[in-house]
Structure formats: structure tokens, C-alpha cells
Structure 1
Amino acid sequence: MKKTGFKLQWLLLGSFLGSIGNSFIWPLTTIYIHDQLHQSLTVSGVVLLFYSGANVVGSYIAGMLFDRKNPRHLMIGGLILAMVSMAILIFRNGWPIYPVMLTIIGFFNGWIITMVNSFGTRVRSHDGRFVFNMLYFANNLGMVLGTTIVGPLYQMAHNSVSPLFAITVVMYAFFLLVVVLFFNIVPIKPRHHHTVDVDFGPKHAKLPAANAQIIWTLFISFAIVWIMYGQWSSNMSVYMTDMGISMTLYSMLWTINGILIVLFQAVISWLTKKITNDYYFVYFGIFTCGLSFILLLFAKSYAMFVLAMIVLTLGEATAFPTIPAIINLLSPVDDKGKYQGMLNAFASTGKAIGPLFGGLIIERFSYRPLFVICAVSIMIVEVVVFAVAMTRQHDAEQF
């Protein structure tokens, strides 16, 4: 089958560049607000709540517009406005301008991530599972490079975030250049497998009941898993530094995370040829994410944190790219952008709630009860996803 409008390699390059840029922002947000802006963990959680809340809105709007407007123009506009917002933080990054601009950046990052995933549904040279695995690979390869140097660079800059935002702007500028030169797609003529409903604009295929049940279960489950996963990228930085572990070693955990995802992809690509049921990867991935929090209960040394991160990464690498691939298979052709946008919106909701949720639990109790709550919650999600998928996947229709 011929490619539709653009090559996967350019989409992967764009995702890679954007990931490098983002890796200079999110790993240090909580500790920068807490240590440099002198705000509590709860306030840090509220800031991240607004960031991810804006991410939700950006994701949803981008997904809806992708199926109706020119995706290339939407991507270019989102990148330019994101760059302007980041450029402001190069020069003004105190309180309260930092959280205000971070919220605006959150909107456009949600917009851009949804656009990238939605463009992935338009690639016809490979099946959806390969496309989303490769997007996840490219994203994490960028994160490996970014997180390897962000901690040391932050310390070399005497805890200033200005150089970090400057590098992010440069990465987004290269991303913009790739989009302008290579993101040319041919509009896909909608194909309808069912009776249609009248909507504002184009007609859309009606989603079968089994598809809807699986999709909504995955939406909600993904949000819950991200609430718990978000503890790693927010409150864990303070937890580890309070134990005497340096910020450089904390950021190195994310370097390990990215390297392992890159390595795991080779094994996962081989396994996908042997295991044709995508849901098995989701079951395994969710379970191992929960297991990582059980290991945190016993973490007293840096080596134990590394082990917990390895287990978390194994779960992330198997479940996280498989879920959007399943959503892609179950969503009608002319609504694929919409459902990718909704998935990213639910993920962003989890990211929004996570730091605040964790901060409140930590300040009311401590870190150990938080780890227990995370482990139990993820295991409940595992049971629900397994039950719904096992009973409904054979009735679902693929598009």
C-alpha cells in the first residue's frame, strides 16, 4: 500500500526533536518550584495541575480540528505559539510568571502531541502498532539525550531554567522546519462502515457498542495509571533528594528509563510477531507499573530506585504505545484524530491530577502510604481492563 502524503521518518524526526525540547522542562519543574521559587509541594502540584489541565484542553481541541481542518497548518500554528511562550520564560521565569506561562505551554504541548499521534493514523506504509511503537521509540530516544544533560546543565547554570528554555526553543524551531518542509498529507476520503449520525460538519461513522466500551475503559484506565506514574516525574525528585541522592542521579533515572525503552523496543518488535493479541501487552504493562511501586516500599538505596525504574519502564514500554494503537484500530477512519485527542486528554488529566494528588497524600501522611495507594490502584485497573477486554474484544470491529 502506498504512503499517504508523507513518510513516517519525518514524523519520527519531529517527535524526536520535540521530545528533546520537552525533556529540558518537565523533569525539573517540581524541584524548581519547590527549591528556587520557594513554594510547597502542594503548590507545585497545583501548578502542574494547571499545566496538564491546559494540556487536556489543547489535546481535545487539536483532536477535533485534525479531522476537519488542515492538519499541517494546525501543527505549524501550535509550534510557533509554543516557541513564543517558551521564549518569554528565557527572560522572565520568576513567580508568578513561571506558572502562568507554563500553563500556556501546557496547552500547546497537548496540541502538538495530539497532532503527532493523529498524523500517525495517516501513515499507510505500516500497521498502526508499528507506527505507535516507533513514535514511542523516537520520543524516548529524544528523552534519553535530553535527560542525560538536563540535570548537570541545570546545576552548571546555578539552578537557572533560562538556558533550558533556550534549548527547547531551538529544538522546536527544528521541529517547525521539518513540518514546513515534509508534513504534506493527502486528505483521506471518509469510509463509513455503519449508519451515520449528523454532526456539525462531516458525517461520522457510528462507534459499535463493544468498541465504545473498550475505548472508554482504556481512556479511564490510562488516566488512572498516569496519576500514579506522575509521582515518578514530580514528587519522587523531592523524596530522593531528601534522602541525600543528588538531582543529577535523579535525572539519571530518566536517562535509564529512555535507554531501556529504546532497548526494549527491539524485543517488543520481535514479540509482536509472535503475539498477535495487543491486549496481552497492555495486561503485562499495567501489572509491572504497579509492581514498581511495591518495590519503592523497600527502596533505601539508589540501586533499589534503579531497579524500580527498570520495572516501571518495562511496563511503560509495553502498555503505553499499545493503548493508542488499539484506540486507532477501534476508531472509525474519519474520527481517528478525535479519539487520539481524547486519549491524550485523559492521559493529560492523569498527569494533571498526579502531582497534586501525591502532594496532598505526602503532606497528610507520608510517602509510603502514597506508594501503597499507587500499587493498589494500578492493580484494580489491571483487573478491570482484563475483564472488559476479555468479554468484549471479540465483538469489537476494527477500522
Structure 2
Amino acid sequence: MSVASAARLRRAARETVSGLPREFWWLWTSTLVNRLGAFVATFMALYLTLDRGYSASYAGLVASLHGLGGVVSSLGGGVMADRLGRRPTLLIAQTATAGSVALLGFMHDPVAIAAVAFLVGMASNASRPAVQAMMADIVRPEDRVRAFSLNYWAINLGFAVSSMAAGFIAEFSYLAGFLIEAGMTLACALVVFLKVPESRPTATAKQADGDVSLGTVLRDGRYMAVVGLSFLVALVFQQGSVGLPVAMGRAGFSPADYGLAIAVNGILIVALQIPVTRFIEHRDARTLLVLSSLLAGYGFGLTAFAGSVGVFALTVCVWTLAEIVNAPTQTGLVVQLSPVHGRGRYQGMYTLSWSVAALIAPLMSGAVIDRFGAEWLWGMCAVVGTAAGLGYGVLMRRLPAKEGEREQEQESGAPGVVAAAEGAEGAGARTA
């Protein structure tokens, strides 16, 4: 590597991490530690079937209940983030996650295991709206896409490491995996407690009287359209972990073949998330969301023509690029459309779209593959991705005010914002 190339790399690295507040980096550290210790999700199915001797159907039921817990807590976590504050919500959710994960390791009765798995899903998902809302609070609008991208990178880096470590830990002791994850989750709570201050914006008296509620979110037509499109995109992306392994197994490929193909996803995200974000950071969000939706749909659609591990890996490259572009852009759009004093609830609704997709995707993919064949599933992915791309194209023809302008209006009690809040209160929407 030449001296000039090394200098460019150093400059790019400095520009990537510069300008973000110290609080963000402590929150980022908490996220990374959390994902480094995410062992249970990786080996849960093996634990139930191999160690405990339960059927694959029971393991699927436990996974569904875990997902259902996440669906329930998506909105609850958002409401807590707005009412109690971001920091208390994070501390409650992470402490509850640590306790429930540790408890799950000691459960033997099948009903008790299923019930505690539901609690783990609730507790672990409750922190997501608070994390996203806090990042929006503490990071300047012009830096948010970069911040969300760095956070997404930490999630995937941590998950890649924990997935490899989970296998070794499981060979030693499944219980150790539960306890280590509980301990690392408590470490996350400790980082938040010691280093991360509360970031919830202070509302004026007039804004407090017109508090944003879940009813306000549901009546926000533009935002709910974004949530619906997010659900479609999430439904497509979920097929990487639910439809793809089943389809490859039916085609005669081994679990190791699937592991080799899907490993490309994590490697590319860790390698490309930051440089790609530098390239797209200040580009038109509408174009990026349309493009990423189409890439996701047709990336999975191309799987219908895959006949070797190499071609499967190539299709993974296509939809992984879509994921790299979509994740920070979509999260930035959610913040842009969210009122400052309702970010928790708005983020909770966005999180719900992914939780519901994670719940529906396994049922949908299994039913389609069993009844019609895997080719139909991949064709449906192409159709859904196209529909989402068209939806973003139509929806974003006229964007709202830029984030900084909108926030200044809200914080100064602009008539339009206050009137909308007062209208929501008049409709009895503050009960959420």
C-alpha cells in the first residue's frame, strides 16, 4: 500500500468517526457489548433439540413465542422511552433481559421454557426504540445516517463474533452461554448507568399538554405508510434466515453449505457498511430506498436460478448490498418523520414492523415452499421488493421539512405542530 493510499484511509477513518458526541460512543459501546454476548439466539434451537431432547416443532414454537414477545414490547418500549425517559427504559429493559436469560438457562419444564422465552423476547426488544430515540436526540441531523450506520455495523460485528463463539461455548456448557449472555447484558446496563445521561428533550408546557400518543402515530398517514413499506422490506430480508436454509436443504445442500453462503452477509456488512455509508450519506433518500428495495427483492429473486453454493453466495451479495444501504437510510427517514417529543413511540411503531415480519416470515416461507416450491417464494420476494420500491417512489415525492428545520419548529412550538398535538389530545389519544 502506498503512502498516499494509507493517508487517504486514515483521513476516511477520521471523517467516519469524527463529530459524533461522546454519549453516542458510550451508547455504541453498550450495543457492541450486547451483541458480542448474544449467544442464546444462535444456539437456542440446538439447545432445545439436542440437549433437552424436544422436537423441532417445539423449538419452532419457542422461537415464535420469543418473536411474539418482541412484537408486544415494540410499542411498550416506545411508550416507556417517551414517558419514563430513554435512560430508565434502557436500564429496565437490559436488567430484565439479563434476569430472564439467566432464568431461562435453569428452566426444564416445557411450559416454563416457553413462558420465559416469551419474557426474554419482550425484555430484549423493549430497548430498541429507546436506543434509536436516544441516538436521534444526541446526534446532529446531518450526522444521523452515519451514526445509525455505525450502530448497525456494531450490531453485525458483535453478532458475527458471538455466532462463532456460541458454538464453542455450547460444546462446553449451554448453561454457561445463558449466564455469560446475562452477565454481558448487565455490563451494558452498567455502561448506560455510569456513562449515558438522559437525552429526552424537555417539553414546554404547551407541548406537554399536547403529548404525542400511539393514536397520534396511527393517524400519521405518511409515517404509517413508511411503516408498511418497512414491513414489506423486512419480510424480504427475513428470508435470508428462514426461507434460504430451508430451500437449500430441499435442494440437497448441507447446513455447512448454507453457513458458507450466509457468512457472506456478515462479512460484507462488516467490510462495506462504513465505506458505503460515506458514499450515500448525503444522497437522496428516495433514490436510496427505491434502489435498496429493488435490490433486496431481485437479489432474493435470483435465488430461484441458484444451483451451486457459489451462486447462492452471489445472490447473498446482492441483497446484502441492499441491506447496507437500506438500514441507515430507513432509520434516518423514521427520525425525520418523527416529532421530537414522540420519538419513542414512533420508533416503537417502526420496530414493530420488523418484529411482525420476523413473526410472519417463517410461517409464510414454510407454507409457500411446501405448497408451491421455493421458486414461488423467490418470485414473491421480487414482487414484494418491487412493490416496496414503487411505494417509496410515490410516497417520497414530497418530503417534509428537513430534520433540523422541523426540530426547530417543534422546539419553538410552531403552530402547525402544536395544533396537531392538540388535535390528537382532543381525540382522546393520550391514553397510550
Q: One fold, TM greater than 0.5?
A: yes
Amino acid of the structure 1 residue aligned with 2:226: L
Amino acid of the structure 2 residue aligned with 1:393: L
Contact 1:45 1:355 in 2 (8 A): no
Q: Secondary structure at the match of 1:122?
A: helix
Contact 1:288 1:311 in 2 (8 A): yes
Contact 2:296 2:385 in 1 (8 A): yes
Tell me which residue corresponds to 1:37: 54
Amino acid of the structure 2 residue aligned with 1:278: A
- Counting only pairs closer than 5 Å after superposition, residues 316-395 of structure 1 correspond to structure 2 as 316-390=323-397, 392-393=398-399
Amino acid of the structure 2 residue aligned with 1:284: L
Q: CA RMSD in A?
A: 3.2
Matched, 1:7 2:13: no
Distance 2:341 2:184 in 1: 31
Q: How many residues align?
A: 383
Distance 2:44 2:199 in 1: 39
Contact 2:337 2:400 in 1 (8 A): no
- Counting only pairs closer than 5 Å after superposition, residues 35-74 of structure 1 correspond to structure 2 as 37-40=54-57, 46-74=61-89
Distance 1:253 1:79 in 2: 33
Amino acid of the structure 1 residue aligned with 2:265: N
Equivalent of residue 112 in structure 1, options 108, 112, 127 = 127
Amino acid of the structure 1 residue aligned with 2:337: L
Amino acid of the structure 1 residue aligned with 2:319: L
Distance 2:354 2:131 in 1: 15
Higher percent of residues as helix: 2
Q: Secondary structure at the match of 1:337?
A: helix
Which one has a bigger Cα radius of gyration? 2
Identity across the alignment (%): 23
Q: Call closer, same or farther: CA 1:187–1:388 in 2, change over 3 Å.
A: closer
Equivalent of residue 215 in structure 1, options 223, 243, 250 = 223
Distance 2:355 2:236 in 1: 12
Amino acid of the structure 2 residue aligned with 1:372: G
Give unpaired runs (5+ residues) of structure 1: none
1:106 to partner: Cα distance:
0.9
Cα deviation, 1:341-372, whole Å, max 9, x if unaligned, reads 11001111111111122222233333222222
Contact 2:262 2:313 in 1 (8 A): no
Contact 1:27 1:233 in 2 (8 A): no
1:39 to partner: Cα distance:
2.9
Distance 1:88 1:20 in 2: 20
Distance 1:86 1:237 in 2: 26
Matched, 1:144 2:157: no
Equivalent of residue 171 in structure 1, options 168, 176, 184 = 184
Contact 2:235 2:361 in 1 (8 A): yes
Distance 2:253 2:165 in 1: 17
Q: Secondary structure at the match of 2:77?
A: helix
TM-score, normalised with respect to structure 2? 0.78
Equivalent of residue 131 in structure 1, options 133, 142, 147 = 147
1:259 to partner: Cα distance:
2.4
Tell me which residue corresponds to 2:37: 21
Contact 1:31 1:238 in 2 (8 A): no
Distance 1:174 1:253 in 2: 33
Distance 2:321 2:118 in 1: 30
Tell me which residue corresponds to 1:229: 237
Between 323-332 and 30-39, the greater mean CA deviation after superposition: 30-39
